[in-house]
Structure 1
Amino acid sequence: MDSLQNFFSEYGILLLEKTWEHLYISFAALALGVIVAVPLGILLARLPKVAGLIMGIAGIVQTFPSLAILAFFIPLLGIGKVPAIAALFLYSMLPILRNTYIGVKNVDPNLLEASRGMGMTAIQRTVRVELPLAVPVIMAGIRMSAVYLIGWATLASFIGGGGLGDLIFDGLNLFRPDLIIGGAVPVTLLAILLDWLLGRLERTATPVGIRMEREGA
């Protein structure tokens, strides 16, 4: 208990700063991923011939080592948070893109035909029919990306991006287990908390009929 109190008294402010940096990097990359991947996934659902190529490219990018992606952006964007966010943005794309594509593609064609019969435009069908029905699948991809990004954001420390990775790698370099634990435990807790919060958001955003069907099953 005394060692824990000593750690917080010495590193408490630093821990808060690094946690904020970690969240900033992760949420910025996730927000960019959602803004780009969701509309692109909707578009690909209407372009099946192009979808295979784009999904294949996204899958290949996902296999690149994290450090290689970070190093690739250094000559382009320098060091700091910007290249870290750019690299994490690329990693966030695939789960969101894939799930959006699958969710929209699997919407019941009969419902789409009924919406056309009601005189809905293409945008109205997307907003009022396809997206609400695809929300559970899309949110599953966002949750997966969010949890991954919390973990991957620790690597931002290698290029001066900050975050809790600074504590972890300082602990490794200085042979300080307290610093390693002080960085690793908050990362784990943040991932668990974010997954739970997004799960609650997914439940709220899911249409009542689909929610009741899933809960009943």
Structure 2
Amino acid sequence: MSSAILPELIKAIFTHIKFVVVAVTLGSIIAIVLASILSRFKKISKYVMPIIGLFQTIPGIVFIGVLFVYTGMRPKTIYIALTAYAIFPVLKNTYAGILEVDASYVEAARGIGMTQWQSLLKVELPMAVPSIFAGIRMSTVYTVSWAVLAAMIGQGGLGVFIYRGIDTNVQETILIGAIPSAILAILMGYFVDYLQTKFMPKGLTTGGAQHDR
């Protein structure tokens, strides 16, 4: 790799990280709030969850293309797209994690006078932490790969090298973008695991129920 490329590569890595961190953070907040609400309205959730899941089947390049028509060639386009795709893995795992909390704990919370929302915040969500972070980890890894599409509309990231390599048919250039992307996905996955240990309530272990890990 030429030393002249190094500054561009470093900039691309930081741009990629920024896309992922912002999208996963916003997506996780939206997902956890939505899952919490849906867990209180199970009749509605059986219709909402499949619809959101169906959205995930839309190819990222198509969604970004549609957004591009309305939001233009701006970072906002990428942030909206990546945040939207980051939601479902966290939503699915959070919802499942809340529903799988042992009913005896919920009944005990109600028995000491907690409302259903107090029970959610103080009992069910804390006990669903392993499942929530499994979803965040999966969302993070996916978003690292989806962020490659930012280069498609000139917004930088490691996809710049991948698309450049494809256009020029130079495999080394493709690898300059692909290898750091793979390493970044692994490292950010481990970082999410570290965060889980910090948010894990005392008395729980990471061996709890985890979905789609």
State the alpha-carbon separation in 2 of the partners of residues 127 and 77 from structure 1: 36
Q: Does 1:203 align with 2:193?
A: no
Q: Secondary structure at the residue paired with 2:157?
A: coil
Partner of 2:78: 84
Counterpart of 2:190 in structure 1: which amino acid?
W
Partner of 2:211: none
Counterpart of 1:197 in structure 2: which amino acid?
F
State which of 21, 32, 50 in structure 1 corresponds to 2:26.
32
Superposition pairs for residues 51-130 of structure 1, below 5 Å?
51-130=45-124
Partner of 2:139: 145
State which of 170, 191, 194 in structure 1 corresponds to 2:164.
170
Q: CA deviation at 1:118?
A: 1.9
Q: Number of matched residues?
A: 208
State which of 40, 43, 53 in structure 2 corresponds to 1:49.
43
Partner of 1:192: 186
User: What are the ranges of 5 or more consecutive residues in structure 2 without an aligned counterpart?
Assistant: 209-213
Q: CA deviation at 1:93?
A: 1.3
State the alpha-carbon separation in 2 of the partners of residues 50 and 27 from structure 1: 30
> Whose helix proportion is higher, 1 or 2?
1
User: What are the ranges of 5 or more consecutive residues in structure 1 without an aligned counterpart?
Assistant: none
Partner of 1:154: 148
Contact 2:164 / 2:173 at 8 angstroms: preserved in 1?
A: yes
User: For 1:111-143, what per-residue CA distance to the aligned partner results, in whole angstroms no more than 9, with x for missing partners?
Assistant: 112112222344432222111100000110010
Which structure has the larger Rg over C-alpha atoms?
1
Contact 2:130 / 2:206 at 8 angstroms: preserved in 1?
A: no
**Coordinate RMSD, CA, aligned:** 1.5
State the alpha-carbon separation in 2 of the partners of residues 191 and 149 from structure 1: 9
Q: CA deviation at 1:160?
A: 1.9
Q: CA deviation at 1:31?
A: 1.4
Counterpart of 1:189 in structure 2: which amino acid?
I
State the alpha-carbon separation in 2 of the partners of residues 193 and 153 from structure 1: 16
Percent identity of equivalent pairs:
37
Scaled by the length of structure 1, the TM-score of the pair is 0.90
Q: CA deviation at 1:212?
A: 7.5
Q: CA deviation at 1:33?
A: 0.6
Scaled by the length of structure 2, the TM-score of the pair is 0.92
State the alpha-carbon separation in 1 of the partners of residues 98 and 182 from structure 2: 32
State the alpha-carbon separation in 2 of the partners of residues 28 and 157 from structure 1: 17
